[in-house]
Chain A
Amino acid sequence: DSGVTQTPKHLITATGQRVTLRCSPRSGDLSVYWYQQSLDQGLQFLIQYYNGEERAKGNILERFSAQQFPDLHSELNLSSLELGDSALYFCASSAGSQGVGYEQYFGPGTRLTVT
């Protein structure tokens, strides 16, 4: 158990819909990262937050957004869903300050299926 929790575990929704994925980092970790893993793309970095502020963006679509709340949990919002958005979405957290990337601990993931 990494100490990172993600909800829900599974999500099935239709094209065009909007969903929210939730992540709670390990106790004391200030950085949260979101990654997407689809069959043909492997693990891709989406976005990073540190202590409530966006720190880095990867290959995140404009239809996707995220935020980190004062209690440090984070949410990833996916809108206008397409079939190609079906994937595993992982959240990771790390200690470290000022966005420094130390060892990252991953949650169990949310499997999103868009039909």
Chain B
Amino acid sequence: DAKTTQPTSMDCAEGRAANLPCNHSTISGNEYVYWYRQIHSQGPQYIIHGLKNNETNEMASLIITEDRKSSTLILPHATLRDTAVYYCIVRLRDRGSQGNLIFGKGTKLSVKP
């Protein structure tokens, strides 16, 4: 799996968009970008994933650059409940027998009133 680099922490004002960057310069052509988040001591929560096109769901949008070397997770209207550690994970969708996720340190997003 390709290595990812994320800022250690970020702040965002409540109601504003939170833009969380992730660098994955060694990503290969068939690797996906996944985002998970973990609200304090709760189980990690799947947010979104994409290959090369931008993706949007009810939680967030994922913007992947054309060269796929970086991506941005966008929470359009951050709330206090979005305060969490956000993990960017790059991996093959089909890894054969090994389906486990490899978590880095992620970005701690603090949404402030």
* A interface residues (Cβ-Cβ under 8 A, vs B): 2, 4, 31, 33, 35, 42-43, 45, 48, 55-56, 58, 88, 90, 92, 94, 96, 98-109, 111
B92-103, CB under 8 A of A: which get 1 and which 0? 011111111111
The interface residues of chain B, by DSSP majority, are classed as loop
- CB-contact partner of B97 in A45, A88, A94, A99, under 8 A: A99
Query: Which residues of the other chain, A, contact B95 by a CB distance below 8 angstroms?
Result: 100-101
What is the CB-to-nearest-CB distance from A32 to chain B, in angstroms, rounded to a whole number?
10
Q: Are B98 and A99 in contact (CB under 8 A)?
A: yes
- CB-contact partner of A43 in B44, B46, B97, B99, under 8 A: B44
* B interface residues (Cβ-Cβ under 8 A, vs A): 34, 38, 41-46, 49, 91, 93-105
28 A-B pairs in the complex with CB atoms less than 8 angstroms apart: A2-B45, A4-B43, A31-B99, A33-B100, A42-B104, A43-B44, A43-B101, A43-B103, A45-B100, A45-B101, A55-B97, A56-B97, A90-B43, A94-B99, A100-B99, A101-B94, A101-B95, A101-B101, A103-B34, A103-B46, A104-B46, A104-B99, A104-B101, A105-B46, A106-B43, A107-B43, A108-B42, A109-B42
What is the CB-to-nearest-CB distance from A7 to chain B, in angstroms, rounded to a whole number?
14
